[in-house]
Amino acid sequence: MSIKLVSWNVNGIRAVTKKEEFWDWFDNSDADIINFQEVRATQKQIPKKLADTDDFHKCFNEAEKKGYSGVGTYSRIEPVEVTKGLGIDELDSEGRVLRIEYPDFILYNIYFPNSGMEAKRLDFKVAFCDALLEQLVELKNQGKNLVITGDYNIAHNPIDVYNPKNCEGKSGYLPEERAWLDQLEEAGFIDTFRMFDEGENNFTWWSYRTRARERNAGWRLDYFYVNEEMKEKVKSAEILSDIYGSDHCPVTLELDF
């Protein structure tokens, strides 16, 4: 059985669904599971056409603050169980995590915190990431198969940013953030895209302010990670850089069980 997953930071579900590019993609997608980040809407505010589609099971985790953060997953496969958040009150008010259990794996759809201007939220981000990693390692040690996707708000290595020297000291490329992805990999999790493509200029986010997408002056911030025991089940992992509608583009993963 093949399962196709997509992850996309849509930079506001109400905004993106006003764009023809989104519907061209969504209506023709053959994905079994579609994960959205930065939904920035309550479930009641999801545009009617997207809310009313009967092809998917839908689950959302919304932030307490209106118009902020939030994640949503559309799944053709019925979940066994859905959990919102990490189970830690001080980390869960922003609606950043959906944990969805399926018969063959547990999926995490995550909108990781941004460490902010002058790293004002770095401590919160590190606490969030550390709590997540502790949970992932515990599940991995229990023999669970894990898929961790979303906007990580971290570019891992120099190859993952357009101009590495210029990015030093910037949010999303701070040593503490990049070190956490090192820890994730050391704990036995694999960046699936790099299983297939070790080349440069593979980005998933481009600043609107500098017309960066036209120049492909981007960052790779969106990932599908799996535990190392899942490696043989990974059939493909891609960046859909030709899909427009957000300042991010979708990323994909195909698994074969």
Residues belonging to the active site: 151
Alpha carbons 72 and 109: distance in angstroms, whole number: 8
Nearest by Cα to 226 from 152, 145, 163, 171: 145
CA distance 248 to 207: 9
Q: How far apart are CA 202 and CA 200, in angstroms?
A: 6
Residues with Cβ within 8 Å of residue 180, at least 6 apart in sequence: 126, 129, 130, 133, 154
Please tell me the distance from the alpha carbon of residue 248 to that of residue 123, in angstroms, as a whole number.
25
For residue 99, give the amino acid letter: R
Extract the tokens encoding 144. 């669970």
With contact defined as beta carbons under 8 Å apart, do 128 and 69 qualify? Answer: no
What's the full length of the chain, in residues? 257
